[in-house]
Amino acid sequence: MPSLGRLRRIVQDVSGASTLDESLRLISDQVKDVMSVDVCSIYLMDADRGDLVLMCTQGLDPGSVGNVRMPIGDGLVGTIAERQQVLKTDDALQHPSFHYFPETNEELFHAFLGVPIVHYRQVVGVLVVQQQESRQFDSEHEAFLVTVAAQLAGTLSHAINSGKVSNLLKGRKKANTHIDGIVGSSGIGIGKVVRAGGSISFKDVDEVCALDKDAELLSFKRALVAVGKELDQGHQQMADTPGDVQAIFDAYRLILESDDLQVAIRNRIYDGLIAPAALKSVIEEHAAIFEEMDDPYFQARGEDIRNIGLRILRYLVEPNAKPNEYGQPVILIGDVVSVSDIAEVPAEKLAGIVCQQGSALSHTAILAGALGVPAVMGVGKLPLRMLAGQSGIVDGYRGRVYFQPSSALMAEYIRLVRQESEFDRALDKLRHLPGETRDGYRLSLMVNTGLLADISPGLEKGAEGIGLYRTEIPFMIHDSFPSEEEQYRLYRKVLKDFYPRPVTMRTLDIGGDKPLPYFPVNEDNPYLGWRGIRFTLDHPEIFSGQLRAMLRASKGLENLKILLPMVSSVDEVDAFLLLLDKSVASLKEEGVEVNRPPIGVMIEVPSTMFLLDFLAERVDFLSIGTNDLTQYLLAVDRNNDQVARLFSRLHPSVVRALHLIVEKSRKLDLNVSLCGELAADPAAVLLLLGLGVDSLSMNAHGLPRIKHVIRSFKKSDTEQLLAEALKLGSEKEIRSLLNNALEDAGLGGLIRSGV
């Protein structure tokens, strides 16, 4: 019986393989050996032609590799792929689905066992074992082969899609190889690939003994000084950006000046290592502590440590290296891309950013978004040296990157960029016009923000206010809880810059995918745990400081609205109102006359949908957070790669839930806004118009397009679309209905389809 240990060995070996060819060879060799069979073959899907191709075999004629193809449903292998089921027989030649390929010489083999390789419901390929003598493979062999296929499906799927080898099929190169990652910042960028930080990598550093410890220590000291100057220059270059962008450079300097880090490196040098080896050892240890944590924000801090480590390494290895010259648009690519790397490139030449590691919460992604540069994070390992100098496309809408794209694909993306630019310019004329339908229904259009960097773009795009100010972002880029005074200055600037437009500030919403680095909370299920208002009510000393800062900031402006996140019960609202009243009273005792602002509740926990009548007695407005509401309704963690594809924004249950909320709110005379990603989806906006929401809040980039959609329809038409959508049973049907309506209105260009 094949052992669990052998299975683990196969998976580990394949995961460590550098190419797809090597992965396939390891699988076929080891499976053949473990199962003691005469043949092990692997067939993979050729997405371009839609058939299965023999990619590797141990036992059949090697000349058949790359030449034997089977349409889905043809032969035993095609039948397995079509049915997505195991197929076994003691005599393959007698099976009704058998298809003979002379070039394989497989007429010598009778016993056959094949299993589908499936990843996220898509057939990746088929794994087959064969034996000369007639025999029936037992259930243990079947179970082992099924387990191998299941364990390796993700690895093989990623290897194919990421183009780990240039020669996927014999004799021809796979066109338009792409990799997929995480959206860090939206947009499309086209340029030449440049390796961030030059060619320096910790992989090239060997553990070598120092011949002169004093010289190594001096070299390390000089590198620290050089990186410090580099950070200062970057800080100055970003002088025209908001303070929170410059704060990222301050965070990097804190890491650089960390006593723990510097002392540990010096100690390794004292112990006999050269400076680069000492640096590598300490950086990897410190970064690993963060990267092994479950929380995305903590993992992103590991990325910051590696960023600083690579900057120091660059000056240790190439102290006299000259800075790059950028004569054409570039795409910065690296294991990590530091804020210093970004600051080196002239703003007009930076076309995109691609990081092998990292997440949407990393400082790199935050800075990219603030600068309006498309970024894709967490793409996995890439052959950086080979890619440098190639042309590339960064699709920040889909989290996709193309290398050496075909002329046809390049032309299509250039067309898209030009079309986007022309369309955006055409929409500029709508800037001062209201979001009003053709039959006079007025909808307020707001922006979501959390960075000062987002304020100017929001105003430039004609935002009527801030529908969601995420107060947790300033908390996340600090190294401790900001004081009341710090918060006051920040909130005052936001409220003043948008005056007299309303600004809805959501109280501190940490937990789930937004942990604080200086206040760790370890939970088995953070999305259902101590987050949002649950956390702040349990820490009135923190909550009161935030509320007092908000109230003080609004004095004389009176454009503040306060929004409560993660509310699931009326008791939470009552507790908040009591704390708010205490904050108002304490300020008045200090001689600061403040008024109680309008209060709202986020509808994101399903329980609140059934408490609207009680909430109406306590609050002034509602804001639907469709991201979390959808997540909780469908029981899908949208940040979990295994199930993220099930996150369906126009799922019939979501549409019906929105209908219930808005209808009930109308009867209770409650103003309703929507601030999730649904607000920036042109198709979804047709339903939201039909529902009759009062305002939408989205990122600044999407605002003109949504305004264009609103001004192109009558509300009565969207009400009819809503009635039809409520009768449909799948997102596919609902989206098709809405996309057709956009097409009929001449807005087909707003439907983002695959290129």
Asked if 342 and 245 touch (Cβ cutoff 8 Å), the reply is no
Please tell me whether residue 62 adopts helix, strand or coil conformation.
helix
Mean pLDDT for the stretch of residues 120-144: 89
Asked if residue 324 belongs to a domain, the reply is: yes
Q: Given a cut of 70, is residue 21 above it in pLDDT?
A: yes
Check 119, 178, 286, 363 and give the catalytic one: 363
609 — pLDDT class (breaks 50, 70, 90): very high
Is there a single domain that holds both residue 299 and residue 392?
yes
d(CA 332, CA 339): 11
CA distances from 238 to 280, 353, 631 (A): 29, 17, 37
Looking at the fold, whether 204 and 338 belong to one and the same domain comes out as yes
Q: Is the dihedral of CA 542, 545, 550, 553 positive or negative?
A: negative
Asked, for residue 465, whether it belongs to a domain, the answer is no
Measure the N-to-C terminal CA separation of the chain; round to a whole number of Å.
48
351 in Cβ contact with 191 (< 8 Å) = yes
Q: Residue 753 pLDDT more than 50? A: no
pLDDT at residue number 85? 93
Q: Which of 259, 171, 203 is nearest to 18 (CA)?
A: 203
For all residues of the chain together, what is the average pLDDT? 83
| Highest mean pLDDT, choosing among 310-319, 389-398, 706-715 | 706-715
Q: What string of H, E and C letters represents the secondary structure of 702-713? A: HHHHHHHHHCCC
When pLDDT is cut at 50, 70 and 90, the band that residue 155 belongs to is confident
341 and 411 belong to one structural domain: yes
Tokens encoding 251: 């965070």
Looking at the fold, whether 277 and 132 belong to one and the same domain comes out as no
Q: Are 151 and 12 in contact (CB under 8 A)?
A: no
Are 295 and 152 in a shared domain? no
Quote the tokens at residue 625. 């957070």
Residues 244 and 318 in one domain: yes
The reply to whether 711 falls in a domain is: no
Asked if 349 and 210 sit in the same domain, the reply is yes
- Rounded to two decimals, the pTM is 0.64
**Cα separation of 465 and 495, whole Å?**
10
* Residues 141 and 208 placed together within one structural domain of the fold: no
Kindly state the average pLDDT of the residues 334-362. Answer: 79
Which residue type, as a one-letter code, is found at position 685? V
- Where residue 622 falls among pLDDT bands split at 50, 70, 90? very high
Cβ atoms of 332 and 341 within 8 Å: the answer is yes
The reply to whether 95 belongs to the active site is no
* CA–CA distance, 117 with 205 (Å, rounded to integer): 39
Mean pLDDT of 413-429: 79
What type of residue sits at position 133? E
Measured in whole angstroms, the distance separating CA 113 from the mean position of its chain's CA atoms is 39
Q: How many domains does the chain have?
A: 2
Are 157 and 187 found together in one domain? no
Beta-sheet strand order (sheet of 350-355)? 178-180, 400-403, 391-395, 188-195, 330-334, 350-355, 375-377, 182-185
Characterize 401-435 residue by residue with b for buried, 16 or more Cβ atoms within 10 angstroms of its Cβ, and e for exposed.
bbbbbeeebbeebeebbeeeeeeeeebeebeeeeb
Counting other chains too, the contacts that 81-86 makes at CB distance below 8 Å and 24 or more residues apart are 81/43, 81/45, 81/52, 81/116, 81/123, 81/125, 81/126, 83/116, 84/116, 84/118, 84/123, 85/116, 86/113, 86/114, 86/115, 86/116, 86/142, 86/145, 86/146
Q: Which domain, by its residues, includes 398?
A: 179-416
Tell whether the model's pLDDT for residue 677 goes beyond 80: no
What pLDDT sits at residue 698? 85
CA distance 327 to 391: 14
* Residues of the chain above pLDDT 70, percent: 83
Active-site residue, selected from the candidate residues 178, 675, 701, 708 = 675
Which tokens in the block code for residue 2? Answer: 């094949």
CA atoms of 640 and 634, how far apart (whole Å): 13
CA distance 306 to 336: 7
| Residue where a domain stops, chosen among 359, 394, 416 | 416
Lowest mean pLDDT among 59-73, 117-131, 138-152, 470-484: 470-484
Do 143 and 210 lie in one domain? The reply is: no
- Domain end, chosen from 416, 440, 467, is at 416
- Main-chain phi, psi angles of 67, to 5 degrees: -110, -30
Using CA atoms, how far residue 627 sits from 64, 355, 400, 429, 635, in Å, is 50, 25, 22, 31, 12
Whether 638 has a pLDDT exceeding 80, the answer reads no
Render pLDDT for 60-97 as a digit per residue (tens, 0 to 9): 888 788 888 888 998 999 999 999 999 999 988 888 88
How many whole angstroms separate alpha carbon 563 and alpha carbon 507? 6
Q: How many helices (H) and strands (E) does the chain have?
A: 26, 22
What the block records as the tokens of 467 is 């529908």
What are the tokens at 140?
Answer: 């243990």
Q: How far apart are CA 311 and CA 198, in angstroms?
A: 10
Q: Helices (DSSP H) in 590-671: which residue ranges?
A: 612-615, 626-634, 652-667
Q: Could you tell me the two tokens for 724?
A: 């039809």
To the query of whether residue 119 is one of the catalytic residues in this protein, the response is no
Same domain for 272 and 158? no
Task: Identify whether 76 is part of a domain.
Answer: yes
- The residue among 401, 416, 431 that closes a domain is 416
